[in-house]
Amino acid sequence: MIRNLPDLSVPIDFQALFGRTAPVEIEIGVGKGRFMREYALAHPEKNLLGLEKVPKWMKHAHARVEKAGIENVCLIATYVEGFLERYISDFSVDAYHIYFPDPWPKKKHHKHRIFKESFLRQIERTLKPQGELFVATDHKEYYEVILNTLVSFSRNGLSMLPWERSAFVSNFQAKYEKEGRPIYFCKAVKEGFRTTEMAA
Ligand SMILES: C[S@@+](CC[C@H](N)C(=O)[O-])C[C@H]1O[C@@H](n2cnc3c(N)ncnc32)[C@H](O)[C@@H]1O
C-alpha cells in the first residue's frame, strides 16, 4: 500500500497503519523495490515501511510488491530528512535497511549525504533496544565516513557487529555484484559492529 504524508498520524501508529502488531522495519531509499519485495516475501511476519524520495521509483516498487501479492509493506514518497523526527516514535523500530545510499561524490555535495550525526541520532532514538541498522555501499570513501560516524556513535549506544553480506539483494547490489565491484557492508546494533569488504 502507498500512504501520503498528510494521511499519517503524528507520530505514526504502526498498529493502525498495518492493522496488526508486528515487528517494524524501515528501508530508506527503496529505489525500484527489489530488496523490499524479496524481504517481504521471506518475512510476512514483519511490518515493513519503505521510504523513497522519488515518486516514480516508489510507484515502481509498489507495482512490484503488489504484483507479488505482498500485504505487509507500506510505501511513502518522502525524503527521510525530517521524516524520522516527526513520524517515528522513540523505541518503535526493530531494524533499518539502507542499501546504496546516494554517495554524492563531489565534496561540495557531501552536505546532501544522509549519513551524518543528526541522522544517526534519529536512528538511535527510534530503534528498540537490540534494534539493528544494515548498510551496504560500493563507495569506499562514503563507507569510511559511515563507519566513522558510527564509531563516534558507539558511545551513544550504536555498535557494530559482524555482517558478511545481505542475502536479500537490492537492485544496486545485484547490478554491482554482476559487475564484480567490491561492496562494503556494515551492521550496527543498538548498544557492537563488524565490517566486511566483499570480493564479488
Ligand atoms: C542508489 S539508489 C539505491 C536504491 C536501492 N536501495 C538499491 O540498493 O537498489 C538510492 C535511492 O535512495 C533514494 N534516496 C536518496 N536520498 C534520499 C532521501 N534523502 N530520502 C529518501 N530517499 C532517498 C533515491 O531516490 C534512490 O532511489
Asked if 56 contacts 77 with a C-beta cutoff of 8 angstroms, the reply is no
**Percent composition of the chain: helix, strand, coil (DSSP 3-state, to 5):** 40, 25, 35
Q: Over 60: is that where the pLDDT of 22 sits?
A: yes
Lookup result for grid cell 523505541? 91
Residues designated as active site = 102
- Whether ligand 1 lies within 6 angstroms of the CB of 31 is answered as yes
Centre of ligand 1 to C-alpha 30, Å, is: 6
Asked if 97 contacts 68 with a C-beta cutoff of 8 angstroms, the reply is no
* Residues 122-147 pLDDT 10s: 999 999 999 999 999 999 999 999 99
45-54, 81-90, 175-184, 185-194: which has the minimum mean pLDDT?
185-194
* Residues 140-177 pLDDT 10s: 999 999 999 988 887 777 887 778 888 899 999 999 99
Q: Classify 89 in phi/psi space as left (phi over 0), alpha (psi -120 to 50) or beta.
A: beta
- The pLDDT confidence band at residue 198, using thresholds 50, 70 and 90, is low
Centre of ligand 1 to C-alpha 28, Å, is: 7
Q: Average pLDDT of 69-90?
A: 97
pTM over 0.85? The answer is yes
DSSP letters for 120-154? HHHHHHHEEEEEEEEEEES-HHHHHHHHHHHHHHG
What is the overall mean pLDDT for the chain?
92
